[in-house]
Amino acid sequence: MGKALPTVRLQAGRTLLLEGPASVRLEDGEGSILGAPLFKGWALVREDRQIPIETSTGAGLEVRLGQEAKYKIIQESTIPAGWREASQIALQSPGTVVILGDVDSGKSTLCAFLANECFRHGLHVSVIDGDIGQADIGPPTTISIAPLKGHVFSLQDLRPEVSLFVGDTSPSSVSEKLSQGLVRLEKSTTEADALLVNTDGWVRGEDAIRYKVQLLSDIRPDLVLGISSEGELDPLLELQRSTALKLNRSPYARTRSREERKKAREFGYKRFLQNAKRRELRLRDVELRRFDSRQQQLRLDSSADLRGVLAGLLDDDERLLSIGRIEKIRDGLLTMKTALEDTPKIVELGAVVLSPSFEELAYAP
């Protein structure tokens, strides 16, 4: 990948902050990424991501930089001391931990760090990804739960055990459905010693606070961790009966532009549609409905143009099997591009409209 650098010597106690697209592997010494040991294999960094590589003993690193990738060596850890203290609390009293924070506050990074720390201490760990706009475990518009089977450099390393289709990327538009889905996922696991719930970045305004208060009331976590920089979470944290900690945002957290977040979503669609093939389903064989309606069978207007609409393909228990892009509905046949080979029980039409190359074009009315 791109330009290969001479071996980067990282002294003990320092951190290599690597911004993608790039790749890195350990040549000698010891290194870790968010508590996950770095080995001789390549660790990849996507274009819209950055990873911190730390060492307590010193390390030699082979680094390859793609176009516009960059790196820098800093004199300290990128993980705030408060995050480490929170991990100790989570280890002392394992249970359900809910992570709150604004957009790009570092929630996914904190979640990956906590997951690695809990796993390192022998706990059975599961992660719920509740960020429908910037989903890591499943595609955007979905929520997922995944067990940890090893250390991870990113939540994207996890594979979903159960996913649910919410249908939109904006939590304010589907707050009730989103909340119900998260509670369902939380109740679906009984084997996890530590259950980490990563939430969306909708935290500002009365509606957002009201939604999060209700969600926490439904989940009843043992620990609430709020990453806050301007006191935006104070009203929410003050209302909690369970242990609630206010954590600082890492000074090295990367703030992405709206366009960068859009590209991240498009990467998510493509990741789950990369092997998509054209499929035809008979409408009489499936239940067709909208993401925001419980109507048993959607009645289509003859002029309805559903070309490009993202759909969730569900089983009879309403769990996500895969996603698909609608091409047309005509003469009793639904044509779509999907990686799913089986026939779904339900086809749920979402709010997002995708191009043939799975780029976001619009949001359906």
Domain ranges of the chain: 3-74, 81-247, 260-363
Topology, domain 3-74: Jelly Rolls (2.60.120)
For 79, phi then psi, to 5°, come to -90, 115
Look up residue 48 and give its amino acid.
Answer: D
Specify whether domain 81-247 bears CATH 2.60.120.1060: no
Interatomic CA distance for residues 90 and 113, integer angstroms: 12
pLDDT tens string, the chain, 365 residues long: the values are 578 888 999 999 999 999 999 999 999 999 999 999 998 889 999 988 899 999 999 999 999 999 989 999 999 999 999 999 999 999 998 899 999 999 999 999 999 999 999 999 999 999 999 999 999 999 999 999 999 999 999 999 999 999 999 999 999 999 999 999 999 999 998 889 999 999 999 999 999 999 999 999 999 999 999 999 888 899 888 888 889 999 999 999 988 899 999 999 999 999 999 999 999 999 999 999 999 986 656 666 544 689 999 999 999 999 999 999 999 999 899 999 999 999 999 999 999 999 999 999 988 76
Q: Which CATH architecture has domain 260-363?
A: Beta Barrel (2.40)
Q: Give phi and psi for 172, each to the nearest 5.
A: -65, -25
> Which residue, chain included where needed, has tokens 């990367």?
254
CB 222 within 8 A of CB 66: no
How far apart CA 273 and CA 262 sit, in angstroms, is 17
- Cα(75)–Cα(7) distance, rounded to whole angstroms? 18
Q: How far apart are CA 180 and CA 188, in angstroms?
A: 12
Tell me the whole-structure pTM to 2 decimals: 0.95
Q: How many CB atoms lie within 10 A of CB 149?
A: 11
Contacts of the segment 24-27: beta carbons below 8 A, 24+ positions apart:
24/51, 24/53, 24/61, 24/62, 24/63, 24/64, 25/61, 25/62, 26/59, 26/60, 26/61, 26/62, 27/59, 27/60, 27/61, 27/62
pLDDT of residue 300: 61
**How many helices (DSSP H) and strands (DSSP E) are in the chain?**
6, 24
Helix, strand, coil percentages for the chain (3-state, nearest 5): 25, 35, 45
37: preceding bond cis by omega (within 30 degrees):
no
